[in-house]
């Protein structure tokens, strides 16, 4: 089956390339995603231990059939290492819970890469796709994810019960980012 990945634009930020994932990216995606510390704060439907061909199955069964149909997924690549998938970021239009999710290889944590990627996806959502509001969530214990939301102008709304891969975490923080607040925040930075 052929899929048209041209419906997913490629973006460049100061240090990153955000582009559709292709089959040549799957080995590095699998390598960097298959880490409990990366996966533990994702929704519980993500299996752990992660299967050997888990990314390949996700790619063909979940990602490709939905791409560009109110769902967008970008692989994250460093400009100076454009052949290694270091993370992923998703955007959903019709989600009852969240409109954006992401993961990042542990070796890349604490360097501002995900804030850079999330900011570019916020721009795309509001400027190009017509979103008026984005809803986000993160495990209550996921400080890094919370900081990204704070650094990109989201407003904390409370908590809700949620099941994560980590069975010890039971609550998700709920965040909201309106287009008006994003535009104000973006113009300040």
Integer Cα distance of 29 and 34 in angstroms:
8
- pTM, two decimals, is 0.94
Delineate the domains of the chain, giving CATH numbers in brackets: 5-188 (3.40.630.30)
- Residue 17 in this model has a pLDDT that exceeds 90: yes
Q: What is the mean pLDDT of the chain?
A: 94
Q: What is the mean pLDDT of residues 65-84?
A: 95
DSSP classification of residue 102? E
pLDDT average, residue stretch 156-174: 98
Residue 80 is predicted with a pLDDT of 97
Name the 3-class secondary structure at 11: strand
Taking 70 as the threshold, does the pLDDT of residue 76 lie above it?
Answer: yes
Residue 3 pLDDT class (50, 70, 90 cuts):
low
* pLDDT average, residue stretch 22-42: 97
On the question of pLDDT at 88 being above 70, the answer is yes
Q: Give the residue ranges of DSSP H helices in 22-81.
A: 26-33, 36-39, 54-58, 64-66
Under a CB-based contact definition with an 8 Å cutoff, are residues 8 and 67 in contact?
A: yes
């Amino acid at each position: 089956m052929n899929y048209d990945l041209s419906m997913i634009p490629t973006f460049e930020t100061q240090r990153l390339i955000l582009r559709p994932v292709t089959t040549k990216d799957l080995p590095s995606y699998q390598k960097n995603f298959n880490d409990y510390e990366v996966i533990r704060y994702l929704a519980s439907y993500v299996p752990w231990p992660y299967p050997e061909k888990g990314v390949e199955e996700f790619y063909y069964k979940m990602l490709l059939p939905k791409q560009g149909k109110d769902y967008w997924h970008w692989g994250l690549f460093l400009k100076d290492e454009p052949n290694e998938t270091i993370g992923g970021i998703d955007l959903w239009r019709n989600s009852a819970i969240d409109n954006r999710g992401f993961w990042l290889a542990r070796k890349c944590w604490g360097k501002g890469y995900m804030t850079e990627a999330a900011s570019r996806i916020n721009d795309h959502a509001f400027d190009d796709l017509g979103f008026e509001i984005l809803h986000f969530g993160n495990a209550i214990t996921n400080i890094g994810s919370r900081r990204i939301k704070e650094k990109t102008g989201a407003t904390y709304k409370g908590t809700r019960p949620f099941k994560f891969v980590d069975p010890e975490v039971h609550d998700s923080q709920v965040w909201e980012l309106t287009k008006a607040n994003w535009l104000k925040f973006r113009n300040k930075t």
